[in-house]
A and B are shown apart, each in its own frame.
Chain A
Amino acid sequence: MGILDKKLSLRNRSKMLVGIWEDEDKLVEATSALVHDGVHIHDIYTPYPVHGLERIIGARRSRLARVAFFCGLTGFILMTTMIWYMYVLDWPVNVGNKPVRFTPSWIPVMFEGTVLCTAYGMGFFFFWRNRLLLGVKNDLLDDRQTDDRMVIAIECVEGMNESDVLNTMKSNGAVELRELINGVQTTI
């Protein structure tokens, strides 16, 4: 269960390079340049959605839509079974001699149940996949990354030329460069 796994926290990474941007276009250019140079970007943090970034860093396409479909199917089956059990099997009610099996009057309840299961199933998956949980401590690299600043975080790996990476970030509009070692940030 990744939500509470402290190993995933940015503070527990051995070394990271952090670049700060104030301009969305320059951020996109910098990301493209870094990816072009073969640098593996850990993540990018922005105060609002910047379209296309996830494709540039090669993030996998979300499976939320598929989850939604299966949750919807579950809801549909659950509601149909429920109505069938209550209304046909357990206690059939004769209302004006109308048929009791799979009548159009079942549709509203089946539909609502399907929508409810889809929405909440997908919502649960969304929270779980993004490690979002009520009360979870946030892992910020910059206090203004939810306001007006954008942050690129790069995990240092063996064989990576750190000065080249820093130069690429600087030449592509980074307003500030930092390194994060064992949870402590220092400005470069």
Chain B
Amino acid sequence: MIHDSLIRERLVTGDKTAADVTRDIARPILNQPTKSWKIGFTLSLIFLGIFGISLFNTIWTGIGVWNINKTVMWGWDITNFVFWVGIGHAGTLISAVLLLFRQKWRMSINRSAEAMTIFAVVCAAMFPVFHMGRVWVGYWALPLPNAFGSLWVNFNSPLLWDVFAISTYFSVSLLFWYIGLIPDIATIRDKVKTKTAKFWYGFFSMGWTGSTRTWARYELISLILAGLSTPLVLSVHTIVSTDFATSIVPGWHTTIFPPYFVAGAIFSGFGMVATLLVVARKVMNYENYITIGHLEAMTKIIMVTGSIVGIAYLTEFFIAWYSGVEYEQYAFINRATGPYWWAYWSMMSCNLLAPQVFWFKWARTTPWFIFIMSIVVNVGMWFERFVIIVTSLHRDYLPSSWVMYSGSLTEIGLFLGTFGIFFTCFFLFAKYMPVINMAEIKSILRNRE
């Protein structure tokens, strides 16, 4: 039996009606861009320019402009790849897992989280693609007919699994996102005034009318896609972790990597969602839709996943000692006390210690503080990947090949530039598409149980 909830707090505040929801959420689309949007978009374009220059330098001169060498053959590039792919994984996971668990608070954040997934995976893909050096033969990674050479691809290699996993993940996330967008695109279609806007929103709304039968199928396909996406996300980040774990490099050769990477992905993804939404709710006046309750729920997940990641750090250290393998032991001692100690302790403080402040309600309910913490989480998760990759590689079995590594200006430019790609896409998305799922929000206005 359906009735009004007497206990649960309202997920949307301000006594909104369905018409209010359309008006509020469609406002940025129906009106001229605001000053803050213009400033943000210009900044993103500047960073996009930095990406363009760095990429041009990489292609024109060759990847010798990166500081990677024969010992540290993966540096900022793969650090950035795992950083972005981790952020990307959280989006669909947030949407899919919370849908399976019937968490209605997801409805305010799922659209941005899914968009974040798409843009973050695009950013992530840049790094392995250009690390190949000869980008124009990148299609050799696909299982193509033998005419291109005498061998097929190696199905034993986690790098090949990555090709399949990330392309599948991107494609399925895109479908999931687009199907969810159709009803809202139709709403915008019926609100816009100009002929061009009417044409394009009409084109992408696919003739949506909101028929009851279509809604029933829509809900079913969303549920099945969520059911598919959940193991998909787990598989993809597990596969990313096996890029490291199946090797024999001390510090990488460990079975804890898959769950540790997955928890880290959710952690960093929620960090990025919090960064985006704390700003969006203020700038776009969405405080009634993304409430303090939503922020609090996200911070609780950040705290739990941060703690899981922290336990993984400590377990790695313990197992290195307990295994009795001196190479493993050295790898971890070197991480904490070697030349990259600052990176290790930045990682520990940002990921394990900092999120513990969310035990306090004040920290969970103060937007500016959550924003700062979300940046701390993002910084910490970048350092995690840097620590895993660089500290394990820079001192291997042969002391004669030990080296130090730091990113070159081009590598730094590429990393900063991907923020340009990410935020340019996000600003365009926020201008032309509803950032919050209007149709789903309308269905929870009454706070039913």
Contact = CB atoms under 8 A, between A and B. Distances in A.
Interface of A: 24, 43-51, 53-54, 57, 59, 62, 64-65, 68, 82-83, 86-87, 90-91, 93, 95, 98, 103, 105-106, 108-109, 111-113, 115-116, 118-120, 122-123, 126-127, 129-140, 143-148
Contacts, number: 190
A67 to B, nearest CB: 9
Nearest to A59: B213
A108 B217 contact: no
Given A45-B212, A108-B235, A138-B208, A147 B191 contact: yes
Contact of B150 (A91, A106, A108): A91
Interface string B370-387: 000000000000000000
B212 A47 contact: no
A59 B217 CA distance: 11
B115 interface: no
B259 interface: no
9 contacts: A45-B209, A46-B215, A47-B187, A48-B210, A93-B151, A119-B175, A131-B207, A136-B207, A143-B190
Contacts of A59: 212-213, 216
Interface stretch (B127-135, B272-280, B437-445): B437-445
B35 to A, nearest CB: 28
A122 B19 contact: no
Nearest to A43: B211
B155 interface: yes
Main secondary structure of the interface of B (DSSP, over half): helix
A104 to B, nearest CB: 10
Contacts of B2: 51
B172 interface: yes
Nearest to B171: A116
A123 B182 contact: no
B220 A64 contact: yes
Contacts of B175: 119-120, 123
B210 A111 contact: no
Contacts of B443: 48-50
A132 B168 contact: no
Contacts of A115: 168, 172, 228, 231-232
